[in-house]
Amino acid sequence: MSYFKKASISLKNNLGIVMLLIISLLVFLTNFKLNYFIIGNDNFSPELNPGLTLKRSLLNPAWRSYRVLGIPSDSEQGDIFRTTLFYLLQTVLPSWLISQLYIFITFFIAVFSMGSITCWFSQFVAKKKHKQLFFFFGGLFYISNLLTIWVYFFPVHLFVAAFAFLPLVIWQIIKTVDHPKPINYLTLILSSLLLGTAALTATMFIIIALVIFIFGFLLLLLLKNKEKMVILIKAIILVFIVHLFWIVPFLFYVSSQKIDLQNSQINREITSETIANEQKYNTFLNIPRYAFSWLFTQEDGKNYTYPQFSWYIKSPLGTAISYIPLFLFVCGTIYLIKKRQKPLLVLSISYFFGWFLIKGVNPPFGIIFIWLQKYVPLFEQVFRWQSSKLWPLMLLPLPIVASIGTYGLLRLLKQKQQKAILGSFIALLLLINVFPILIGSLIRNSMYVQIPFQYQQLANYLKDTNPYGRIYIAPEANTQYFRNYDWGFWGSVVLNYVLPNPIIEKALIIGSDENEQAYTLLHNSYYSQDPELFDKALQQYNVSYVLSDKYISKGVVGYKYDWSLHNQMVEKNSGLVLLKSFGKLKLYQVLAKKEADEYLIVDTDHNWLRLNTILTKNSPNQTYVSSFDLPGTLYPLALNQKTITFDQNTIETNWRYTHKSQNFTWNIDYQELINSPTKVQYQNGRISLTPAWPTIKINKEPVDIQVPKMQLPQTTLIPKFITVNDQVIDLRKDQNKKVVLNTRFRDIYTDKNLSVWNGNSTQLDLLGAWQLQVSEPTILELEATFEVPQKANFSVCVWSDLQQRCLNKPNQFAALKGSNSFTLLIPKIITSREVIKMYIKPKDTQISNFTYKRLQANVYTNSEEISDLNISKIPSVQTYNFALHQGDQISMSLPMIQGSENYHYPESNSQFTPETSIEYFDNKEETSDINTKNNTIMMVSQEANTSIYQLINQIHSEGKIALIGASGTNVQSIPYELKLRQPEQEFNLYKRMANRHESDAFLDFVIIPTVQNQYYTEILAKGIGAQPSINQINNWFFQMIPVTWANIHIKPDITMISSQHICTLNQAVSPYWLTIGKNQQPVRVNGWEQGWIVDSQEDVEKVFYWPNIFSYLGYGLIVVLGLGLISQAWLVNVAKRADKTE
């Protein structure tokens, strides 16, 4: 037989393989780029430094010491086999080539594994001669859908691994069952270990396990031989046994971190928006063609990220072609029913089950998913992005059943030529469906990057000097948790795979309360514009270095960085010393803090972020420990409040004492009292002034303290107003008034700036003039009447030319159709020589025909200054002793402070509300609304951002700290967010999302820059999809309080412990740290660090994270299995040779 004839026969016998090979090579050739890494946004790239990643996995597999402050390993350890492979390959290949080859080899593996599986199943529906047909269409169906495009266009390695190695593992199981040779068992183990990369997210691996069990069940139905059934069960067990090295430690991670995962602010934001996106896009018809939310992504808010969006969504032809796989799958299901191949219908059931699950809360039976999300919080978080995790249930059965459907259609034709034409036409349509992958668009262009060599230079420097010092990267990530780099990368944690040191980065904090509190305080301190405060925060978390990375850029997505602030806080910070520069990278060393001689003992039931904010703001920085066995100092405002209640006068927090009975002491310093805000009280004709001071109650009984008091003589003439400094108190409608002003009590006594106003007003008609010249100190009240043709919101501004701002807040008036009136008292004295202007403008520019009927100014000028102020005397230090018993309820009431630097909702003047804004997506019809009624705000957001915001002026932050909070209910969909930002900046100094599906009340501290005196406080609600987000806001406040209020604390008898008795680890706390030594008691140090109380430092001989043991046992099991199978294969081979010799 001639060579060409043999080649022709071989080609015919392997035509499916050859055709898939040609397609795969075309994909490779059109997408390969020389000298480029491929790095996905959610980045898992050990190829950047495989030796580093491998070392971490071997030395401390169950604990990630390099993630911020340290955290238990979730399931990242599953990637060790790929890392090991990269480590070996880097000895012969450049890293960039390894990066690309991995992507393209996974594509080859996916194609040929799925082709092999489909070919094997063909024996139950077709003759052997059709195997190549099934091989070809099995591989082609697997890659000719939008899911393949998603997996590789945004190449997240865990999804790539699932896409490639799940069919490989199933194929190896089938091979092992058919031929139970040691070599097949060995390749099964290797395939399963490669699949471990998919466990980078454990949820993905759970779904993978489910698919393997489904195929295992199918094989059990098909196999007739009991011996093969036993082999099948052994093979499946083997697949999972080799993953015990990460599965068992992962259970410890879930046990210790599940609450932190649920409470994570990043997770909370991602979860709510992702669920809404899934509901919007996972429609009944989108699911079978995998047109999920990724296809509709608009990263810049304008343009669709995926270039061929229009072809798949707007083109009728493109849409129709994308349903071809579904059509042939249905044909295949019908063919199986007709041929009574019941076992293979398991695949169809899996497909439709996946279809049902991916649709989530959408009908039909979406109520099941809604119930699970509402009452099983971990389910809501784990399956928030169900389209990214559940797709194997649909995709793995699709090629097999659709290939059977194709075969069934071809059988309807009689002539070979007709069959060839139809088969070719189907293949052509399938290739058209994924044409971008054939023309160089398999991978998004921005995923190809060249990493500046300076990062490796920095890594080498740190490796040689100090690879353990913690690094804070500045500036921070300017999107959710992704960074933009001027060398092209946009994503997360790239430095985590390059630098040997622990890194503080936003993407690494998820799942750990300690890490999240560290990042939050460091971020707030960085933006405080106070370098000394930033240094103290760095020292609080044992940060050794600050890395200034000016390769970071704004990018297409993200806010603009403030490089002048960076210069102030890092480059010119006297507490940081420049060590080394590498291009745009500068490494600064944090000057070490002085070691404390003693540690303060604090109670365990604190919110550590709030406590560390208080202690960082105070000077010097306090070092402390906490343990349930040690009665500790209580900071009431930093305790984990069980309830928080608000009214117009107070904020009250409540907490329950959970420890054994203990005596406590509360010391109050006179200077702290007189430097507090002032409470002004008018009652029975008498004006009295006292310092405003928080009230502590124990079991609802207040601890009565003495406060200095200034009391004016009683008068029969009832004043209309009282003014303190320039703040106005209106007594006309309330003759028993209590108001807390932000003026310090001592300033009233020393400056004598208290006045009463008794005279009648002068009425001035401003209609037509719209402005007023003030010639002497004046209290001003404005009355207006106007008519509007329809319901509308108006902005009302009383403008001061001198101060260049509106003097009134809030300033939005909700006008009804017809005649409207309002009365507006300016809360501050108008000084002489000021020009006051009045503006009333509709927020809707289409409203122009409204009519002013009246605009009147009531001017009060008759005031009497009170200079005869006497102050009562009290002790310089007051001491109060009381006992707390287990179960006692402790509460603290803080006065609501009036003044320009504070804002409280609801306010006393209910005619006015803060500014509102509704921004619709894609010009949707107006279905959103913000309604203020009965002192509550209802926000209905549908395909829009709805916000209500207030500008706060004249903030004086010296010696103060901001208290911000809200209470409300998330009625439906995405919860509201409370934000704080500077008017000229895009980033948020503070942001917190409310709890989902429930009523919520919260308060937090924020450190406000001393040089910035204007901020917007905002409530933002976002609605995505057909289901609107509905949120009810009951209270909302921003208040500057003295640091002394926050620093109020009550102390037990023993408050300190010597530092000689404290041993620390410089890693976050965990119940699974184990020490070898004697007399050790675990404690939490500084709210985050693992420590122990010891008799002496030498008592701790060894510390280790004991779940590591399970990882090492798992590694050992893999080695034993591998060596056993290799030995068995060698013995089999020796026996074969012996047989041949005989």
At 178-213, the pLDDT tens digits run 999 999 999 999 999 999 999 999 999 999 999 999
pLDDT band per the 50, 70, 90 thresholds, residue 909: low
Residue 368 forms part of a structural domain: yes
pLDDT tens digits, one per residue of 556-580: 888 899 999 999 999 999 999 999 9
pLDDT tens digits, one per residue of 88-104: 999 999 999 999 999 99
Structure tokens at 870: 């006497």
Q: Are 472 and 218 in contact (CB under 8 A)?
A: no
Q: How far apart are CA 27 and CA 290, in angstroms?
A: 21
Checking if the pLDDT of 832 tops 70, the result is: yes
Cβ neighbour number for residue 1074 with a 10 Å cutoff:
16
Length of the chain: 1142
pLDDT band per the 50, 70, 90 thresholds, residue 365: confident
Share of the chain above pLDDT 90, in %: 60
Mean pLDDT of the 41-64 span = 93
Interstrand relation of 929-933 and 990-993 (parallel, antiparallel or unpaired): unpaired
- Nearest CA among 629, 479, 502 for reference residue 556: 479
- Give yes or no: residues 119 and 99 share one domain: yes
Cβ neighbour number for residue 1061 with a 10 Å cutoff:
19
Residue 861 forms part of a structural domain: no
Q: How far apart are CA 896 and CA 134, in angstroms?
A: 74
User: How far, in Å, are 248, 644, 897, 1000 from residue 967 at the CA level?
Assistant: 40, 8, 18, 6
The parent domain of residue 748 ranges over 667-759+868-895
HSE of 1098 in the Cβ direction (CA atoms, 13 Å)?
Answer: 0
- Measured CA angle at 525 (ends 497, 1086), to 5 deg: 80
3-class DSSP string for 591-605:
CCCCCCCEEEEECCC
Residue matched to tokens 């190549």: 132
Mean pLDDT of the 592-600 span = 86
Q: State whether the Cα torsion 471-472-477-480 is positive or negative.
A: positive
What's the total number of domains in the chain?
A: 5
| Phi, psi for residue 968 in degrees, rounded to 5 | 180, -170
Q: How far apart are CA 505 and CA 462, in angstroms?
A: 18
Strand 863-866: give its sheet, edge to edge. 727-730, 721-724, 754-757, 863-866
Q: How far apart are CA 267 and CA 223, in angstroms?
A: 45
pLDDT band per the 50, 70, 90 thresholds, residue 845: low
**71-95 burial: b if 16+ Cβ within 10 Å, else e:** bbbbbbbbbbbbbbbbbebbeeeeb
Decide which of 1016, 1048, 1080 is a domain's last residue: 1048
Q: How far apart are CA 66 and CA 439, in angstroms?
A: 40
Q: What is the DSSP string of 789-820?
A: SS-EEEEEEEEETTTTEES-SS-EEEEPSEEE
- Give yes or no: residues 944 and 1063 share one domain: no
Q: What is the pLDDT of residue 219?
A: 95
Checking if the pLDDT of 1101 tops 80, the result is: no
Residue matched to tokens 């030529």: 417
Q: What is the DSSP string of 844-877?
A: STT----EEEEEEEEEE--EEEE----B----SE
3-class DSSP string for 724-788:
ECCEEEECCCCCCEEEEEEEEHHHHHHHCCEEEECCCCEEEECCCCCEEECCCCEEEEEEEEEEE
Mean pLDDT of the 455-484 span = 94
Check residues 883 and 379 and name the one with the higher pLDDT. 883
- 881-884 CB contacts, 8 Å cutoff, 24+ apart: 881/663, 881/664, 881/665, 881/666, 882/663, 882/664, 882/666, 882/698, 882/703, 883/661, 883/662, 883/663, 883/664, 884/657, 884/659, 884/661, 884/662, 884/664, 884/698
Q: What is the DSSP string of 14-55?
A: THHHHHHHHHHHHHHHHH--TT-EE--SS---GGGSHHHHHH
Q: Are 387 and 278 in contact (CB under 8 A)?
A: yes
Q: Are 933 and 961 in contact (CB under 8 A)?
A: no
Q: What is the pLDDT of residue 846?
A: 67
| Phi, psi for residue 1099 in degrees, rounded to 5 | -70, -25
Mean pLDDT of the 330-346 span = 94
Q: What is the pLDDT of residue 185?
A: 95
- Give yes or no: residues 63 and 140 share one domain: yes
Mean pLDDT of the 672-687 span = 88
Mean pLDDT of the 1008-1034 span = 89
pLDDT tens digits, one per residue of 515-571: 999 999 999 999 999 999 999 999 999 999 999 999 999 888 888 999 999 999 999
Checking if the pLDDT of 1 tops 60, the result is: no
- At residue 664, what is the residue type? F
- How far is residue 208 CA from its own chain's centroid? 26
| Phi, psi for residue 131 in degrees, rounded to 5 | -60, -40
Interstrand relation of 585-590 and 576-582 (parallel, antiparallel or unpaired): antiparallel
HSE of 825 in the Cβ direction (CA atoms, 13 Å)?
Answer: 16
Q: What is the pLDDT of residue 924?
A: 65
- Give yes or no: residues 1038 and 1089 share one domain: no
Instruction: State the chain's maximal CA–CA distance in angstroms.
Output: 129
Q: How far apart are CA 763 and CA 600, in angstroms?
A: 62
- Angle formed by the axes of helices 513-526 and 531-540, nearest 10°: 170
Q: How far apart are CA 51 and CA 56, in angstroms?
A: 9
Q: What is the pLDDT of residue 804?
A: 84
Q: How far apart are CA 161 and CA 146, in angstroms?
A: 17
- Give yes or no: residues 1044 and 1066 share one domain: no
> Residue 620: is the preceding peptide bond cis (ω within 30°)?
yes
Span between the terminal Cα atoms of the chain, in Å: 33
Residue 733 forms part of a structural domain: yes
Checking if the pLDDT of 12 tops 90, the result is: no
Q: Are 848 and 631 in contact (CB under 8 A)?
A: no
Residue 1122 forms part of a structural domain: no
- Give yes or no: residues 152 and 79 share one domain: yes
Give the SS3 label for residue 132: helix
Q: How far apart are CA 157 and CA 878, in angstroms?
A: 63
- Give yes or no: residues 585 and 733 share one domain: no
**If residue 1140 lies in a helix (H) or strand (E), which one and from where to where?**
helix 1108-1141
Decide which of 421, 446, 471 is a domain's last residue: 446
Q: How far apart are CA 705 and CA 832, in angstroms?
A: 41
Q: Are 1037 and 903 in contact (CB under 8 A)?
A: yes
pLDDT band per the 50, 70, 90 thresholds, residue 457: very high
Give the SS3 label for residue 691: strand
Mean pLDDT of the 739-748 span = 88
3-class DSSP string for 954-1004:
CCCCCCEEEEEEEEEEEEECCCCEEEEECCCCCCCCEEEECCCCCEEEEEE
Average pLDDT, the chain: 90
Mean pLDDT of the 972-988 span = 89
- Give yes or no: residues 397 and 510 share one domain: no
Decide which of 1008, 1025, 1048 is a domain's last residue: 1048
- Nearest CA among 33, 54, 29 for reference residue 96: 33
Mean pLDDT of the 377-398 span = 86
Q: State whether the Cα torsion 1118-1121-1127-1128 is positive or negative.
A: negative
- Give yes or no: residues 890 and 901 share one domain: no
Domain containing 564 — which CATH number?
A: 3.40.50
Check residues 268 and 1072 and name the one with the higher pLDDT. 1072
Structure tokens at 439: 């023309």
Residue 973 forms part of a structural domain: yes
Q: What is the pLDDT of residue 479?
A: 86
Q: What is the pLDDT of residue 258?
A: 86
Residue 777 forms part of a structural domain: no
Checking if the pLDDT of 376 tops 90, the result is: no
Give the SS3 label for residue 112: helix
Residue 691 forms part of a structural domain: yes
- Give yes or no: residues 1017 and 965 share one domain: yes
Residue 546 forms part of a structural domain: yes
Q: What is the pLDDT of residue 475?
A: 93
Q: What is the pLDDT of residue 342?
A: 92
Q: How far apart are CA 654 and CA 894, in angstroms?
A: 12
pLDDT tens digits, one per residue of 119-140: 999 999 999 889 999 999 999 9
- Give yes or no: residues 105 and 67 share one domain: yes
Q: What is the pLDDT of residue 37?
A: 95
Q: What is the pLDDT of residue 102?
A: 96
Q: Are 796 and 808 in contact (CB under 8 A)?
A: yes
**How does DSSP classify residue 7?**
H
- Give yes or no: residues 46 and 188 share one domain: yes
